[in-house]
Amino acid sequence: MDYQALYQQKLTTPDQAVKVVKSGDWVDYGWCTNHPVALDRALAARKDELTGVKVRGGVTMWMPEIAKAEDAGDHFTWNSWHCSGVDRKIIGKGMGFFAPMRYSELPRFYRENVTVDVAMIQVTPMDSHGNFSYALAASHLADMLDKAKVIIVEVNQNLPWVYGLTGCEINIADVDYVVEGDNPAVAQLGGGGEPTDVDRAVAKLIVEQIPNGACLQLGIGGMPNTVGSMIAQSDLKDLGVHTEMYVDGFVDMALAGKLTGRNKALDKGRQVYAFAAGTQKLYDYVDRNPAVMAAPVDYTNDVRVLAQLDNFISINNAIDMDLFGQVNAESAGLKHISGTGGQLDFVMGAYLSKGGKSFICMSSTVTGKDGSVKSRIVPTLTPGSIATDPRSCVQYIVTEHGMINLKGLSTWERAEAIISIADPQFREQLIQDAQKMGIWRRSNK
């Protein structure tokens, strides 16, 4: 097959390509760094011709052009699989909504539950075999594109080519239109600044629990990043990676020689992940690097896969938790923050692993905009808050005041353990709350 001839045959302009979108269509932008740029701008230019266009995306790194107009919501509805700060702003405009999911199920959603009229994503330049790489996000893109009635790819020469499993590339034969975009720099995600004393205290407690040869998953945020930095400076060795999101902390560990993956029962020697976002350091590291391997999220997050990886260590953040052990990692009351993502997948998968441990970490307090200090450990979750991890699944909880393991504990034992890692200034009130809720033994105090 003459791939270059086929490429030229399908090459068009963004303005021409987006003419396939009709009012009422479901349009998919893909995931994170794969969201289109030139195509998004061209679609936004058609705003006044369209109504009821429903667009999907997730972990949005920049404000889409279709969401910028004052009356954008009259023409487009944004649907996010997982919210970033940008997604929250779109929802705040009244034109966006969140779609709940366990991230591991997303490919199946596309196979069985959703419609895709038009898919438009950024990809790498085509190789000599006619393939485009999904670059930093394997995620669910293969199943999303399989479901799409029309596929438009926007080539970006700055995207890194990432090696991976089936489901990481698309061939020119399966593409309807090719657009050569503006080649914008890949959007970067910062590491959240210098770690705080609380971050360091929590990270230290977790790192002490990690054995040589462990396999790691890190969530996004300051504390998991601090754990990564601390591991890079530790004496730990022969660690592996199997994670949903690949972040800069893994690069630090790799460059420090900590990641060999030689003890992994699956994908020995490879750092496996569903999608990546970070700084240019990360993008340079993963580009055509055989040490890393992208994979669809129904592989990376499958608890049956995780259970086969001995000493699997999962480290994630939380917003708050209650005295029953329910963990909220996605909303502040009715205000949506992020999503379930893969947290519950990894909480369950780590516990099923031989020697595995799941850690949920958070600071014991949060300071509001008015300067008031509030406990992240509360009697019951605030009305409207989401129980990301049910009490039956939670294992280790860590704050700067200590670490507890909730497995096997009754309600009163849980309350006692949880209160023990709350900020001291709130413990007496939490005891009183636990007494009123009938989950406190007077002899404990």
Catalytic residues, by residue number, are 244
The answer to whether 274 and 302 are in contact (CB under 8 A) is no
The answer to whether 364 and 422 are in contact (CB under 8 A) is yes
Largest CA distance in the chain: 80
Rounded Cα gap, residues 143 and 139, in angstroms = 9
| CB environment 204-224: b (16+ within 10 A), e (fewer) | ebbbeebeebbbbbbbbbbbb
Q: Which of 18, 303, 57, 339 is nearest to 154 (CA)?
A: 18
Residue type at 133 in one-letter notation: S
The residues near 440 (Cβ < 8 Å, ≥ 6 apart) are 412, 415, 416, 431, 434
Q: Which pair of structure tokens corresponds to residue 258?
A: 């900590």
CB atoms within 10 A of CB 87: 29
Rounded Cα gap, residues 185 and 298, in angstroms = 29
Residue type at 129 in one-letter notation: H
Q: Which of 111, 110, 138, 112 is nearest to 123 (CA)?
A: 138
The answer to whether 265 and 235 are in contact (CB under 8 A) is no
Pairing status of strand 177-180 against strand 215-218? unpaired
